[in-house]
Each structure stands twice: as structure tokens, then as C-alpha cells.
Structure 1
Amino acid sequence: MSARKIEFPRIVIVGSGAIDQIVEVVNEISQGKNVLITSGPQTMKIAGNRVKNTLEKAGYKVFHQTSEVADEPTIKAAQDQIKKHKINIALGVGGGTSIDVAKLSSAREKIPFISVPTAASHDGISSPIAAVRENGTFKSYPATAPIAIVADVSIISTAPRKMLAAGCGDLLANYTAVEDWRLAHKLRGEYFGEYAAALSIMSAKMILDNYEILKNPNEEAVKLVVEALISSGAAMCITGNSRPCSGAEHMFSHALDKLTSSHGLHGEQCGIGTIMMAYLHKLDWERFRGALKAVGAPTTAYELEIDSEQIVKALTIAHTIRDRYTILGANGLSEEAARDLAKKTAVI
């Protein structure tokens, strides 16, 4: 593997009241006083306005980009603001959409960005990968990891429980993603990073070993998930891509996105994908399913509110979603094999 640059978040603040340190963090990083916040309407109310008002009181000029979907028009609109207002630093305040818009627009314009999550639903809060919606599904783009993460557990704890459950699903997916990575290394000679893989598995293990605590999560339990998500993102920082945390289970999720607009949260779908891919990898899929049930994540098509036939179809096309070798192989699953897999794991 050729030498390359690895970038990690420089500052990570996690805990109750962390958002109160936002001025201190921005002061340390920003080379000027012009700030862009990307946030959805709801997350702007939850945390964005608080961040905006706090920074303005400290003498910063704050601009806002509404980010309801992470697509090219929204990302380009954020880039236009960065250029027009000579923005010095971008803050993604919200969920995956707001953070991805800030992440990719700031990377393209070569300014730093800070991740301020309002939910623990995905490991994108710390990764150098941005998910952009294209043609009904999501495409991953390399970006830059946040220079800082400010994760206020008191705010994140107020998010719907299903968001936390989705984060647990996204983390458990690391188990099958790493197995896919090993397989690609063995059969295709793809580079395999032992350290990144170990970090990815350690992050997932935090959920598998502590799911009883997450049945009725308090702020400490939420903090555990947030820290695991940040650690998972760090594994991707090491490799510069999503290999340690994204395999066939993620391809299955993106296939569902492509097939229907009535899909679940990304982490929910990845959790169900993990159950099925764990079966194919001969891992303890029933334990994964039990953990997901315990944290309140869906484990069936019915609970995900998706038709069984969509599950089967997604399994048959998942291998076409991206050029990444996984347990699904080069040719994917037949309809018969897909249906059998979904039934054996009680997904349908």
C-alpha cells in the first residue's frame, strides 16, 4: 500500500453540555470570523440556533444553509455561500444530511469543518466519507474528517429512540463489513488493514457487549454509542474509505433505497442486512438479531414497514450497487437463494 495522509479529528468533546464549548473550539480552529452552519429546519431549532446565537455573541458572523437532503444542488449551494461570504469554517449541526453537506462542501472549498451531531444514528459524524443522494440512492464520496466533533449527549439523548437504535445497527454492521474485507483480501488480493479492522470490530463490540444497558438508555448509555460511532469513523480515517465499516449489509441498504422511497433509517436497514450477511458468513447471526431487538431496532421486513418482496429484490441486486467484493460474490444471489436467506433469518 502506497504512503498516504491520514487525518483524524483534532478535538473531540463528548458529554452533557458539550455544546457550551463551541466558541472555545471555533476560536482554536478558525482563521477568521465568518461561519457557515448547515442544518435542517428541525435540527436548527434543536441546536443550530443555539450555536448560531452563541457564536454571534462571541463576535462571529454566522450564515446558514438549509440542508434537508444531501444532494449535489444543496452541496453546491453551501459551496456558493462559502465562496460568497468568504467562510472560514463550516459547522454541520444535525443528523447525517447536515453533516455530510458541511463535510463535502468544506472539503471541496478547502476549509475546516466541525461535526455537531444531534442524534447517534450513524458513524458519519466522524468519518472522512460523505453520502450523497443520487438517482434514488446514496453514493459515497471521499471528503475530509471533521477537524473537531462536539457531541452534546444531553441534546442527542432527546432524539427519538429509533435514531439511537439505528446507530447500533450501523455499528453492528462492522462485523460483517470486516468479514467481507477479509474475503476480498483473500480472494482478490485487496489491501487489508489489521489495525483499522480491529478498531472497527472494537466499536461494534461495544454494542454487542452492552445492549442490555441500551434497552432503556440514559445519557451514559447514549455516550457509549456516540463514542463507539466516533471510533468507527476513525477506522475509516485510517483507510481513507469505508471498507472497515461498509460491506454487503450496506449495499443491501442502498439497494432498498433504490427500490422504494418508503424505506427505514440507514442504520435500521444495515442492521437487518447484518443479520442476513452474518448468516452467510457463518457468524452468530442470532446474537446480532437479539442485540438489535434489545435496543429497539427492527429485525423483520414487517417492523421495517417494507414489503417482503422488496427485501428479496434488494438482496438480488445488492452486489451491483458498487464495485466492492463481498460475500455476495460477483454474481449476487438468485431470487430463490435470496428468499431462502431472508426466511431462514426470519427477516420475512
Structure 2
Amino acid sequence: MKIHAISFPKKVIVGHKALRMIDKVLDDFIPNNNDKIIIFTDEYSQSHLQSVNSIKSYDLYTVFNKTNTIITNNINQCSVIIGLGRWKTINFAKYISYKRGIPLISIPTTISNEDLVNPKIVYKVNGNYKFLISNLPTVIIIDLNIISRNSKEEILSGMCDILSKLNAISDLKLYYNKYKQNYSEYAILLVKTSIQTVLRNLSKICAERESGLQTLIEALIGCGFAMEISGSRYVCEGAEHLFFYALESIEEHYNLNHGEICLIGAIIGQYLHGRNWFKIKRIIDQIKTFSDKESFKLNKQSIIRALQLAPKLDNNSYTIFSKVKVNIGSIIEVLKEYEIID
């Protein structure tokens, strides 16, 4: 067995006004309060900087939606990086932390997917997706005062992202059977537990109750930990996420969020696996009922183009897209029958 080092965060802090704990957290990294701090944030999260106003000196980098690179010449000189923001902001912070070996404090301002609390890094080179597994953030701070202001779409996205992992588990077994490797049963159990817990609390999460948000946060953290334990993103990502990345590559705008698209990708994946994909359709019906969401649809041509591209996106993966020929016509008919297509 290859050596696999597992690094969990030193602290995970969740609660109302949790951001106020930042001073105590920083004391662990900068006892004399003189070393440099780098903060990555975004246009949506800058208002939360006032909650960390006790930090007197820091370099600030703002990540915009179209930001692809950030000039960071002096980052080697800092003692800690703080990522305060949404997915792309945290992703940039994780990447710099990984490349420079600098501790990261992750402070997500949304719970739209588990990338905010996992060791995965996503980036593009010449338009092509690249994936890295680094380490979990050294500290994770999730302030419920901030998260409670998330839009319903952001909460639905995080919830659907968790539920789409029903397909990732099926694909993971294909991957390890293909390459004759053992997989971490404990990591899979963590993901399954996250899925089951979210399923039991669908109504509370859709109603944006505090207990529901707490459940979703714990499920997202659980999946992040599962990725760290397994040393692979495939425990949480399979064909359903390839479908999302393909759609994101061909469409600038679509009417569903990250998690919802992954959940449709999970229907496609489970159909190709020959498994009970009706279960996911029933879950979508429940979500529509609990959340008053009227539409759960994608454009037909976008689906066709995404299905053509998805199997080519990650040469290192082995999903159901790799094993079987994707009959796009039959998939379109299934999605039509269950009103997934505009």
C-alpha cells in the first residue's frame, strides 16, 4: 500500500458570529501580530471584511467572476492566507496555499457546494479543466449569520450537490475495479451518511431553517473529509460532475445552479448504470414541492453538447461515461419523459 498522509483541519468553527473567532485563530499562526496576512475575497463578500477589522495589516486580492490569474509576487513572505468568499475565491486561496505551502483559513460565505470545505482545486489551462488534490484548509470558519443570508438557489445548490453523489459512489467502484485498487469504505460511508442525512432533512433545508442549514453544512464538511481520507476527488465526483463541467464549458448562462445540474447528471449516470434512477427523479419532485421551485429543466441542445463533451474532459477518471457508449437519443427521451428538458 502506498503511503497516504491524511491532514484534517486544526479547527472547524461553525455558529452565529463565528467570524469573531478570527483573532483567536490567528494567534496560533501569528503570535507577535507582525507577520503579513493575505486575504482573498470577492465582490459579493467584501462587506464581511468589517467583521475582521481587528486585522490591522493585510494585503487584499479581489477575485471577480472572470478572474483567471492573480499576480502574487510577494505571497511567499506571508504567514497565513485567508479565503473569505464564494467558491471561486476559496478555490484561488486553496491553490496559492497549496503551491506556496502556506496555511489557509477558509471562510466560505455560501454553502453552494462542498468545494468550499474540501481539498480539491479546479483550474483551467488553455480552456481545459485541471484538478488537484491538496490538503483540507488548516482552519474552516462558517458563520451562520452570513450563511443565513444565502439565497434559496445557493442552498438548493449545496443540497443537490450532496444528493448527486449517489452516482459518484457508483462510478467510484467502476474506477477502482478498472485499476484493481482498494477503495476507502470509510470514505464512502461518510458520503453515504451525508446523502442520507440530507434526504431525511429535505423539508427543513428547503425551508431554510437553521437546523436544516446546520445539517447541510455538516454534510458538506463530511464529504470534504471523505475526499481527504480517500485521497481522491472521485469519492465525491463522477459522471454527474463531468456533465456539469461540460455544460459550464459550452454555456455562459443556464437556468439551473451547480448542484441542480449535477443532480440531472446523476439521473443520466444512474440510467447508464442500469440502477434506480427513478429514485433521483422522486428526489427532484420532493425538492420542487418543498422549495416551490417551478422548473428543473435544461435546454435540449445544451444537454446534447454537454453529453458529447463530458466523456472527454478528464482522462484520469473512469466513470460510466468511460464504460458504456452514451446513447444520447435514449437519454434525451428519458429526460423528456420526466420533464427535465425545456
Instruction: Compute the TM-score of the two structures, normalised by the length of structure 2.
Output: 0.90
Q: Which residue of 2 aligns with 1:309?
A: 301
> How much does 1:187 deviate?
4.2
Distance 1:296 1:249, change over 3 A: farther
Superposed CA deviations along residues 83-106 of structure 1, whole A, max 9, x for unmatched, are 3xx211001101111111111101
Q: Which residue of 2 aligns with 1:193?
A: 184
Cα distance in structure 2, aligned partners of 1:80 and 1:106: 14
Q: Which residue of 2 aligns with 1:252?
A: 243
2:332 is paired with a residue of what secondary structure? helix
2:159 touches 2:259 (CA, 8 Å); kept in 1?
A: yes
Instruction: Compute the TM-score of the two structures, normalised by the length of structure 1.
Output: 0.88
> How much does 1:188 deviate?
4.2
Cα distance in structure 2, aligned partners of 1:81 and 1:338: 50
| Corresponding letter in the other structure for 2:136 | A
2:171 touches 2:239 (CA, 8 Å); kept in 1?
A: yes
Moved more, 63-72 or 217-226: 63-72
Cα distance in structure 2, aligned partners of 1:299 and 1:114: 38
Superposed CA deviations along residues 274-300 of structure 1, whole A, max 9, x for unmatched, are 233233331322333234424649796
Of 58, 64, 67, the match for 1:68: 64
| Corresponding letter in the other structure for 1:177 | A
Distance 1:244 1:340, change over 3 A: same
> How much does 1:138 deviate?
4.2
Q: Which residue of 2 aligns with 1:290?
A: 285
| Corresponding letter in the other structure for 1:289 | I
Cα distance in structure 2, aligned partners of 1:143 and 1:278: 29
Q: Which residue of 1 aligns with 2:328?
A: 335
1:256 touches 1:314 (CA, 8 Å); kept in 2?
A: yes
Distance 1:287 1:137, change over 3 A: farther
Superposed CA deviations along residues 234-266 of structure 1, whole A, max 9, x for unmatched, are 001112221111000000000101111113432
1:326 aligns with 2:325: no
Cα distance in structure 2, aligned partners of 1:255 and 1:41: 26
| Corresponding letter in the other structure for 2:49 | G
Of 169, 173, 188, the match for 2:164: 173
1:275 touches 1:345 (CA, 8 Å); kept in 2?
A: no
Cα distance in structure 2, aligned partners of 1:201 and 1:287: 18
For structure 1, list consecutive stretches of 5 or more residues without a partner in the other structure.
none
Distance 1:63 1:119, change over 3 A: same
| Corresponding letter in the other structure for 1:293 | K
Distance 1:275 1:338, change over 3 A: closer
> How much does 1:186 deviate?
3.1
Cα distance in structure 1, aligned partners of 2:109 and 2:292: 19
Aligned-residue sequence identity (percent) comes to 27
Cα distance in structure 2, aligned partners of 1:101 and 1:297: 34
Paired residues in the alignment total 334
1:116 is paired with a residue of what secondary structure? strand
2:4 is paired with a residue of what secondary structure? coil
1:9 touches 1:146 (CA, 8 Å); kept in 2?
A: yes
Q: Which residue of 1 aligns with 2:147?
A: 156
Distance 1:258 1:43, change over 3 A: same
Q: Which residue of 2 aligns with 1:10?
A: 10
Cα distance in structure 2, aligned partners of 1:318 and 1:328: 8
1:48 aligns with 2:27: no
1:92 is paired with a residue of what secondary structure? strand
Moved more, 126-135 or 200-209: 126-135
| Corresponding letter in the other structure for 1:313 | R
